[in-house]
Amino acid sequence: MGALLGGISLNSIYTFRSGLPVNIVLDRPASEILDGNNTDHSAGSPNLRPDLVPGVSLTPPEGRSNKLGGRWINPAAFAVPAHFTWGNAPRNLLRGPALWQADLGTAKRFPILKDRLSGQFRAEIFNIFNRSQYGLAASNFTTIGNAQLDLKTQTDPSKIAADNSAIAAASATFSQTSAVVNTGATGGGTPRRIQFGLRFEF
């Protein structure tokens, strides 16, 4: 039993963290903005924010879906700001899906030559429960906002119907979790990884 079970070690790492910040952004025509400045960030992301709709929950009516393609934010909670006003939604007002992961490692040490040479066999499993870790939800409100803005000035029934259809279609995909948090081969948030190692000590 000593030869079979002796020299075995077990170790683990548990990682828990809250979700990353989610910033709801909006691209508006320069003619709608107080200073006329609607310069996007260098990455092309809008730098403006929408209004919060009073009394409407930020959580979707069906609840937050922690799965790929599920909605995380309620699009009905936001609206395009009035002409020449800034949006009142604060920066990074939400958090994305939380991350937790369990890693497990075990090693067996065995003698080869007494007091001179020994070996160690290791097995390590990262994300042992193979828990899916999703990235940030889509948070660009521009498509919905543009349709809302156009709807305010439309009198043509066909264009009003087109704007409503655009809002409905964009609302269906707004805030979806469309990617995993880590698409690389290593690090936190990857699918389950198993690796083995053999080491000699002398």
| Verdict on whether the full-model pTM lies above 0.75 | no
Query: Which is higher by pLDDT, 182 or 24?
Result: 24
Q: What is the pLDDT of residue 105?
A: 94
Asked whether residue 165 carries a pLDDT value surpassing 60, the answer given is: yes
For 60-77, write each residue's pLDDT tens digit: 888 877 677 778 888 889
Tell me the two tokens of residue 87.
Answer: 């949006």
| Sequence-ordered strand ranges (E) for 93-167 | 94-95, 99-113, 117-126
Q: Across the chain, what does the average pLDDT equal?
A: 83
Q: Is the per-residue pLDDT at 5 higher than 80?
A: no
In tens, the pLDDT along 94-120 reads 888 888 899 999 999 888 887 788 899
